Amino acid sequence: MLLEAKSYKNDQPYRLWKVFDSDGFLYSERNYQFDIDYNTILPDSVFYFDIYGDSLITKKAGLEKPKFQGKSGFLNHLVRNIITPQIGWKNKVEGTIRILVKISKDGRMIPLTIIEGIDHYLDKDAARIIIESPNWTPALLQGNPVDIYAKVNISYRL
């Protein structure tokens, strides 16, 4: 039997969630200490890249795309860290969440907005996966780090 410690804010997972086994030992932990946005619109002047391919969507001389620093690639990071919340299983919710992310000049991946969500709980979990991503080598414009944006798809299947 597992015991869960959870909190909510505006019907969304919030703060640190902990799951303990029947002996009282920590079984798993998820960090939901952030809010998500569903409305961010970016100006046309920002740089975009294809996170799943090798191309830059924004063509600009001297612009190099960022590189994932994890050992086994970004897609493997997504697959290893997807945890469908129990409410998703209970309500039989599945689908693909599209998130607009920024890879900052210092290499952090930051979720900016949910472009297409499927459920508050799953949307929040997808944002958590983005926040927990290992740092990237930032995009470079003529040798200098710059912010760059991408759309990430995270699929939840039962």
d(CA 86, CA 93): 10
Looking at the predicted structure, is the pLDDT value of residue 89 above 60? yes
Please write the tens of the pLDDT for every residue from 112-157. 888 888 888 888 888 888 888 889 999 998 899 999 888 888 888 8
Task: Name the least confident of 10-14, 18-22, 100-104, 136-140.
Answer: 10-14
Are 64 and 77 members of one domain?
yes
pTM for this model (two decimals): 0.70
Whole domain around residue 18: which residue ranges? 1-33
The answer for residues whose C-beta is within 8 angstroms of residue 152's C-beta and 6 or more apart is 51, 78, 98, 99, 101, 130
Are 84 and 112 members of one domain?
yes
Are 8 and 68 members of one domain?
no
Are 121 and 78 members of one domain?
yes
Are 16 and 60 members of one domain?
no
Are 69 and 25 members of one domain?
no
Are 68 and 115 members of one domain?
yes
Are 16 and 56 members of one domain?
no
Please write the tens of the pLDDT for every residue from 44-76. 656 776 776 656 677 777 888 888 886 678 888
Q: What is the CATH number of the domain that holds 134?
A: 3.30.1150
Between 26 and 97, the higher pLDDT residue: 97
Are 87 and 71 members of one domain?
yes
d(CA 97, CA 34): 17
Are 63 and 100 members of one domain?
yes
Share of the chain above pLDDT 70, in %: 68
Arithmetic mean of pLDDT over the chain: 78
Are 28 and 70 members of one domain?
no
**Range 24-39 average pLDDT:** 68
Closest C-alpha among 76, 57, 26, 65 to residue 146: 65
Total structural domains within the chain:
2
